[in-house]
Amino acid sequence: MTNLSRRTLLQAMGTGALATALASLPTFAQDRTAIRIGYAVSKTGANAGGAGISTIPNYLLWVDDVNKAGGLELSKLGVTLPLEVTEYDDRSSAEETVRAIERLATQDNVDFILPSWGTGSNLAAGPTFDRFGFPQLAGTAVTDMAPQLAQRWKNSFWFLGGGHDYANALVNLLVKQRDAGAINNKVAIASVADGFGIDLSKAATPAFEAAGFELVYDKTYPLGTSDFAPIINEVSGLGVDTFVAFSYPPDTFALTQQAVVANFSPKVFYLGVGTAFPIYPNVAGPNHNGVMGVGGIDPDSEAIAAYFERHTALVGQAPDSWASAVTYASLEILGQAITRVGDLDKSAVAAEIASGEFDTILGKVKLVDNQLRALWTVGQWQDGKFVGLAHTEGKAAREPVVPKPAWVPAS
Amino acid sequence: MILLVSLLALAALAAVPFFVGAYPLGLGIGILGYGALATAWALFSGPTRYISLATVAFFGIGAYTVAVLADLMPYPLVLLCAALIGLVVALLVGLATLRLAGIYFVIFTFGLAELVRQLVTYYEVNVTRTLGRYVFLPIGPEHIYWQLLGLLAVTLALAFWISRAKIGLALRVIGDDPVVASHLGVRITRTKLALFSLSAVAMTLAGAIQAPRWTYIEPSIVFNPTVSFLTVIMALLGGPNRLFGPLLGAVPLFLLFEWLSANFPNHYSIILGLLFIAIVFLLPNGVLAAWDKFAARLKNKEASA
Amino acid sequence: MRFSAILTGLVLGGTYALIAMGLTLQYGVARIMNLAYGDLIIAGSFCAMLLFTAMGINPLIALFIVVPLGFALSWLVYALMLQPLARRSPNRDRLEGDSILATFGLLFVIQGVALVLFGANYQSYSFLAVPIDVLGTTIAANRLLAFALAVLFGVGLWLLLTRTRFGTVIRAVAANPGSAPLVGINVDHVARLAFALGGGLAAAGGVVVSMYLTFSATMGVIFTMKALIVVIMGGVGNLLGALAAGLILGVVETLVSSFIDPGLTLAATYLIFLAVLVVRPQGLFGKAAR
């Protein structure tokens, strides 16, 4: 080892020790050059596809937006500080997620931690966020347990509702269509055998039956199914006007392609996660028009339009029209809560998130029992936008187009 | 003497949670978890040279048993049930795989793990109508750490005993030449089956013990085939035929994963891959063998000096 | 209905067989358990998508670009990385262990490069998604193409292996690499060629499946495992075995989906696979013991 490198090493060690020592001291304004934000997200593994569209781009965009605006003002400390990011890859593993949060909390001493993508990883991370007192902004977790979880972990916030919200909204919408004579009484459901699909199908099946629909097909298929010809072939012979699939991204695309090939073009064609992805119109071509799915955005909102533009400019692709805007809004809420509190006190910020009203790209937002209850639940592709058809608070929404246009066969 | 040293080391490791923060403890849990899995894996696969990818089947069965039974009975009883279920499955699998060898055994065990995952999923979806179970047990990270430490210690002790006992010799003969083994009167079937079951029970317990840490259990989390692959890689890297080989493969690899994912979150895969290739070329016989060679060279130097 | 299900199943099985062809060559002849095989398929898919979406090149024509690339890449990988391992291994067990570790590394490298280049997003485009009426059953043209290619490669290579001198050489190496040099065969050369040929087939599979399957940078392992199941079930190194195993799995999956429950399709395919091995430990067409 040369002298030079040894000295550099010693210096580095010295700085490290100093940083550790400083971190344990009370925070003074002059010690700080930035607000430290930490997150562990799935850059590899099974969740990478979902995180890559709904979570990571929004974290990048928010940090970029805040820093371009000069940072967040901390009035009690008398400074305005930019955000500084520490990021890890949790490799889509619950164990890694938990440990990464422990690391961010105790080694990196970050001020706030953003969660990973997906219901499972947010649930796995819950106890750890709670133990260290960090607010947890679960922007991509769909769970009917949210009310209980919010009570168990006081600083956890659930932004994407539960299976019942989406299933009931869909059934209500279809009831209206049936009563107007637009569709018949027969419904076919195919659900992916994974947390999301089962949660929704469990809520939807009784709701459809209670509404007097006849469920002529209600089956699940395993995660990783690649060929949907048997399902589509069978369903297409049952005379249904409504096909519902609580599906995941690869299946969502494959189901569409198979339905087009088999020329199975029901009046209502509803799919799960992935329908709201910007890639969907590329996959389905002209046939994306009129397809329904989970989520949706307000097509007339200027804030949303501006958000789409900034997102596309920074990341190179549009956001998805379901969890992306919600995730971004959860970050806006965090930022505004920090400025209102005026310093980096985690529990004060969490209290503000729970009680305050915030101005976000979704409009004015106030959480109810730590949950975002103002959600778009059913969307439909209309004129190149995945517009919201139903909203939990009954916002003015577009009218559904039923029947959807017939498939255009590929040439 | 060996016993004394081991007990002292065990006591020292058991005291770790009193002195370190949450993150080092989390690291400890991860290392012990994979250390236990790799050691258990090598218990059977080391001497017989059968590469098994069924690790995650047992691991997941353990985790699921805890998720299902946690609210119904006291925790130690839950662990006992998990071990029993693991044992029964292992015996069934062991009997089915007796005639398989080489790559056929490898992929069979992989198929088996996937089959278990599919059946658990189907059962949950169609019978209980819930996919994803919650485990809310008052078990903190330090308790998980101690339990894993205990599991690892017992597994190591078993491995030590086996390498000394007749059964270990019998197994090595099977690995070297099954035909000779049968001529020598080694009861191949019974020996293999016993070892496979022991190793499977340890894996089941590793999954059961770690389940409370995740809160939420679903098939795609606990039957993730990556666990099987990592276990094999760690054991192969350390040298599966030595007592501490798998453990010494697990520790550096685990730390390497951690370091890479923290420092190169965007190029983690590429660097990890290149390192793997380098390791195969530079340490052809595993970490321990390389260390032996290095130690021997040092000794030679001393002798000549 | 039943006939239609069998036909759909055969076509699905064609996809399984197609992605397994290359692997059975690589493992059967070169004796490399290539865990990076599926990532090569994904690489082929990415190339096809890029050529199609960015340059408007028809994926069928892309085959003539991507397959030689896959061949060349695999040739290089074998020459640079695997040949030294093969040379230093005293026995097959050792080579198996070493090749698992090394190709596990390669898997991460290819996946990492794809992640850096394309990100983790799902990729999909649609080509030849045209319905074709086959004896009263509607089948997508792109899946039919996969089936046709699988049969073509399977039967074509099988004829090549059994009816030509070159094929005899390859089979000699596959059967007994130790004695092949005694009859003047350059084992290194043949193994490298077989490995590269397998890589070319993987790339071809990647191009074809990209026409109808959604893929992402991290999905390679799924293809590897599916291919391994098919290869092992058919008997290592046996192209007709891979074809038969792929078709059987496809038909089983479709029949179960149509007549029992779509939720059990994968359980059924694994069950069939395990059952075949319990009855025939060397696979459908494999030779007993090795």
Residue in C100, C105, C290 closest to B102 by CB: C290
Residues of B in contact with A124 (CB under 8 A): 213-216, 221
Q: Specify if B47 maps to a domain.
A: yes
**What's the mean pLDDT when you consider all of chain A?**
89
Q: In this structure, what are the phi and psi dihedrals at residue C35, rounded to the nearest 5 degrees?
A: -75, -15
Residues of A in contact with C131 (CB under 8 A): 261-263, 409
pLDDT at site B304:
61
Q: Specify if A150 maps to a domain.
A: yes
Same domain flag for A306 and A189? no
Buried b (16+ CB within 10 A) or exposed e, C18-55: bbbbbbbbbbbbbbbbbbbbbbbbbbbbbbbbbbbeee
Q: Specify if B111 maps to a domain.
A: yes
Average pLDDT over residues C192-202: 94
Average pLDDT over residues A1-6: 40
Residues of A in contact with C119 (CB under 8 A): 52
CATH of the domain at B62: 1.10.3470
Residues of B in contact with A223 (CB under 8 A): 121, 220
Cβ(C89)–Cβ(C164) below 8 Å? no
Average pLDDT over residues A208-229: 93
**Looking at the complex, does the CB of residue A12 fall below 8 Å from at least one CB of chain B?**
no
Cβ(B148)–Cβ(B210) below 8 Å? yes
Q: Specify if B39 maps to a domain.
A: yes
A124/B215 Cβ within 8 A? yes
Å between C78 CA and nearest CA of chain A: 26
pLDDT at site B103:
81
Strand partners, A293: A271, A379
C112/B273 Cβ within 8 A? yes
Contacts of A273 (CB under 8 A, 6+ apart): A50, A196, A247, A248, A249, A252, A294, A322
pLDDT tens column, A32-62: 889 999 999 998 888 888 999 999 999 999 9
pLDDT tens column, A229-283: 999 999 999 999 999 999 998 899 999 999 999 999 999 999 999 999 999 998 8
Å between B173 CA and nearest CA of chain A: 38
Cβ(A86)–Cβ(A38) below 8 Å? yes
Å between B109 CA and nearest CA of chain C: 9
Q: Specify if A372 maps to a domain.
A: no
Q: Specify if A401 maps to a domain.
A: no
**Looking at the complex, does the CB of residue A44 fall below 8 Å from at least one CB of chain C?**
yes
pLDDT tens column, C54-83: 898 999 999 999 999 999 999 999 999 998
* pLDDT above 50: residue A287: yes
Q: pLDDT band for position A17 (50/70/90)?
A: very low
Which residue in chain A is spatially nearest to B134 when comparing CA positions?
A123
Contacts of A86 (CB under 8 A, 6+ apart): A36, A37, A38, A39, A104, A108, A110
Q: In this structure, what are the phi and psi dihedrals at residue B268, rounded to the nearest 5 degrees?
A: -50, -50
ipTM of the complex model: 0.87
B23/A99 Cβ within 8 A? yes
Nearest to A92 by CA among C35, C256, B218: B218
Average pLDDT over residues C162-189: 84
Chain C contacts in chain B segment 95-134 (CB below 8 A): 96, 99-104, 106-108, 110-112, 114-115, 118-119, 121-122, 125-126
**Looking at the complex, does the CB of residue B209 fall below 8 Å from at least one CB of chain A?**
no
Q: pLDDT band for position B186 (50/70/90)?
A: low
pLDDT at site A40:
93
Q: Specify if B9 maps to a domain.
A: no
* pLDDT above 50: residue A11: no
C98/B273 Cβ within 8 A? no
Same domain flag for A281 and A306? no
Same domain flag for A70 and A191? no
- For residue C132, CA distances in Å to A15, A285, C148 come to 69, 19, 14
Which domain covers residue B182, as residue numbers? 20-304
C101/B237 Cβ within 8 A? yes
Q: Specify if B94 maps to a domain.
A: yes
B221/A98 Cβ within 8 A? no
A219/C122 Cβ within 8 A? no
Which domain covers residue A235, as residue numbers? 163-300+377-391
C8/A233 Cβ within 8 A? yes
Residues of B in contact with A98 (CB under 8 A): 26, 213-214
Number of domains chain B is built from: 1
Average pLDDT over residues C3-7: 89
Same domain flag for A190 and A138? no
Same domain flag for A267 and A213? yes
Same domain flag for A51 and A182? no
pLDDT at site B285:
67
Which one of B23, B229, B255 makes the best mutation probe of the A interface by having the most chain A beta carbons within 10 Å?
Answer: B23
Which residue in chain C is spatially nearest to B277 when comparing CA positions?
C102
Cβ(C273)–Cβ(C230) below 8 Å? no
Residues of C in contact with B122 (CB under 8 A): 263-264, 267
Q: pLDDT band for position B136 (50/70/90)?
A: confident
Which one of B214, B253, B269 makes the best mutation probe of the A interface by having the most chain A beta carbons within 10 Å?
Answer: B214
pTM of the predicted structure, to 2 decimals: 0.88
**Looking at the complex, does the CB of residue B274 fall below 8 Å from at least one CB of chain C?**
yes
Average pLDDT over residues A314-336: 95
Q: Specify if A319 maps to a domain.
A: yes
Residues in chain C: 290
pLDDT at site A25:
45
pLDDT tens column, A351-390: 999 999 999 999 999 999 999 999 999 999 999 999 999 9
Residues of A in contact with C217 (CB under 8 A): 48
Same domain flag for A382 and A270? yes
Same domain flag for A170 and A285? yes
**Looking at the complex, does the CB of residue A217 fall below 8 Å from at least one CB of chain B?**
no
Q: Specify if A84 maps to a domain.
A: yes
Same domain flag for A237 and A381? yes
Chain B contacts in chain C segment 255-284 (CB below 8 A): 263-264, 266-267, 270-271, 273-274, 277-278, 281-283
| Token pair for A118 | 């997906």
Å between C168 CA and nearest CA of chain B: 24
CA gap C201, C29 in Å, rounded: 14
Residue in C110, C263, C281 closest to B104 by CB: C281
Å between C276 CA and nearest CA of chain B: 10
Number of domains chain A is built from: 2
Q: pLDDT band for position B287 (50/70/90)?
A: low
Helix (H, G, I), strand (E, B) or coil at A294: strand
CB atoms within 10 A of CB A41: 25
Residue in A102, A103, A198 closest to B130 by CB: A198
**Looking at the complex, does the CB of residue C72 fall below 8 Å from at least one CB of chain B?**
no
Higher pLDDT, B278 or B300: B278
**Looking at the complex, does the CB of residue B218 fall below 8 Å from at least one CB of chain A?**
yes
Same domain flag for A167 and A295? yes
CB atoms within 10 A of CB A136: 24
- For residue C216, CA distances in Å to A73, B121, B247, B265, C201 come to 40, 24, 34, 18, 20
Chain B contacts in chain C segment 39-58 (CB below 8 A): none
CA gap B39, C177 in Å, rounded: 34
Contacts of B99 (CB under 8 A, 6+ apart): C278, C281
Which one of A194, A226, A252 makes the best mutation probe of the C interface by having the most chain C beta carbons within 10 Å?
Answer: A226
pLDDT at site C236:
86
**Looking at the complex, does the CB of residue B281 fall below 8 Å from at least one CB of chain C?**
yes
Å between A369 CA and nearest CA of chain C: 34
pLDDT at site A259:
94
* pLDDT above 50: residue A1: no
CATH of the domain at A177: 3.40.50.2300
Chain B contacts in chain C segment 141-170 (CB below 8 A): none
Chain B contacts in chain C segment 73-102 (CB below 8 A): 81, 84-85, 88, 93, 96-98, 100-102
pLDDT at site A314:
95
A124/B27 Cβ within 8 A? no
**Looking at the complex, does the CB of residue C16 fall below 8 Å from at least one CB of chain B?**
no
End-to-end CA distance of chain A: 67
Same domain flag for A171 and A232? yes
Which one of C278, C279, C287 makes the best mutation probe of the B interface by having the most chain B beta carbons within 10 Å?
Answer: C278
Q: pLDDT band for position B185 (50/70/90)?
A: low
Strand partners, A79: A74
Same domain flag for A212 and A190? yes
Instruction: Give the H or E element holding residue B114.
Output: helix B102-123
Average pLDDT over residues B258-272: 85
Q: Specify if B13 maps to a domain.
A: no
CA B67, B72, B74, B76 dihedral sign is negative
**Looking at the complex, does the CB of residue A225 fall below 8 Å from at least one CB of chain B?**
no
Which residue in chain A is spatially nearest to B131 when comparing CA positions?
A195
Higher pLDDT, A187 or A92: A187
Residue in C96, C100, C109 closest to B273 by CB: C109
Q: Specify if A19 maps to a domain.
A: no
Cβ(A319)–Cβ(A57) below 8 Å? yes
